[in-house]
Structures are given as C-alpha cells and as structure tokens.
Amino acid sequence: MKALCVLASGEGTNLQAILDACASGELRARVALVGSDRPGARALERAAAARVPTVVSRPKDHASREAHDAVFVEAAAAHGAEVVVLAGYMRLVTRTLLDAFPDRVVNVHPALLPAFPGTDGLGDALAHGATIAGTTVHLVDAGVDTGPILAQAAVPIVDGDTKATLAARVRPLEHALLLRALGWLVEGRVTVTREEGRRPRVRVEGVAARGVLALDA
C-alpha cells in the first residue's frame, strides 16, 4: 500500500476526498503526511482530525524556493511517502521536489489543460467565453501546469454561470477524477513515454480512454 504526501494551501476538499477514499478502501493507499505553505490552512485541521502528521513550510522563512521545498522532501522521506499530491497547493514546486519524486508528483487543476493554466482556470474560462470547463489531473514538471496529462473531465458552461456555480459543478468531478488517477498511479499502471522532440505521454495499463465527459448542467 503506497504512502502519499498531500500538499494543500487552503480548504483541503481534495485532501478530504483522498482521506475518505483511503479509509473506505476505494483507494489502496494511505496518507502518510500533509504539508502546507500556510499555517492556518483548513487542510491541516482535516489532517489532524484524521490523525495524519503535518508539516508547514512558509516561503518567507527560507532563502529560496528550493530550500522551502526541501522541508517537504525531508518530511515526506521521513514518513515513507512515495507519491506527492498537489491538492489545491498554490505554489510552483521546484526541481528539489520533482527530482525526489520523479513522475510521482500529481496535480489537479480546474481547467481543461492545456487551456487556462495558472491560478484561476475557471475564472479564465468564463472570461474567455468558453462553452466547456472542467478539470485535469496531470503529472507535474517544471512548467506551469504543463506536465503529462493523466485524465480529464468536463462540464458545460451554461447561461448565468458564475465562478461559484461552475466550481460547485466541477468540484465533484475533480474529486472523482483525482481518485481515479491516483488509483492508477498507486497500482503501478502508469507509464510515461519520452521521445526526443516530442512531449512526454502517459499510458495507463488497461485503460483505453482516460477522459470523462459529463453532460449534465
């Protein structure tokens, strides 16, 4: 059973979905550590309620981003974590973290990448007049939401949608998709193929289609 380190900056709803899935056996993994860059993050309270160890690394306490990430790397190693999940973690990670967990750092992003990377995927989709929004689970690289895509799910944008109403419909898909992709990863079914001159691609053993399109408004 693989051990997870989950990094979160805010409410921790994705963390809670992971904790619940681990407890029920839906996800054959355990959360070994929860980390945050914000001491007051609700995610830390959720971790404490589940009796999961926590660590906080505030960027302002370190001379560099690499030194900040090194705190998480050291703590994750001490707790035996094998996969790092960025679940609402609002900072770019460095090679310090990525090199410690090659192809084992996962992010969930509220947009259909490569469209609308960055901190406000749903707001950007609305601002651009998009007709479809959604969520992407991807492996993390050194870019901004540019890593190999594991899976995606979509919902239509309807008349009168606000960021809040759209987020309320996307969030359940986000949780479900993250758990599905994590399941593939902890089961050892994910292979990343790299060819010169091409972007890395993901193959999941036994899964032909990794996209999920939800048509309900």
Instruction: Single out the catalytic residue among 62, 68, 109, 175.
Output: 109
Strand locations in 17-159, DSSP E? 29-36, 54-56, 83-86, 105-109, 132-139, 149-156
Rama region for 118: left / alpha / beta (φ>0; ψ in -120 to 50; rest): left
Residue 73 has φ and ψ, to the nearest 5°, of -60, -45
The answer to whether residues 178 and 14 touch, using CB atoms and an 8 Å cutoff, is yes
Partners of residue 5 on adjacent β-strands: 33, 84
The answer to whether residues 184 and 148 touch, using CB atoms and an 8 Å cutoff, is no
- The token pair that represents 164 in the structure block: 């809040």
Q: Is 128 a catalytic residue?
A: no
Torsion sign (Cα): 200, 203, 204, 208: positive
- The token pair that represents 15 in the structure block: 């963390």
Report how far apart the first and last C-alpha atoms of the chain are (Å, whole number). 37
Distance (Å, whole) CA 35 – CA 84: 10
Distance (Å, whole) CA 161 – CA 153: 18
The residues assigned a catalytic role are 109
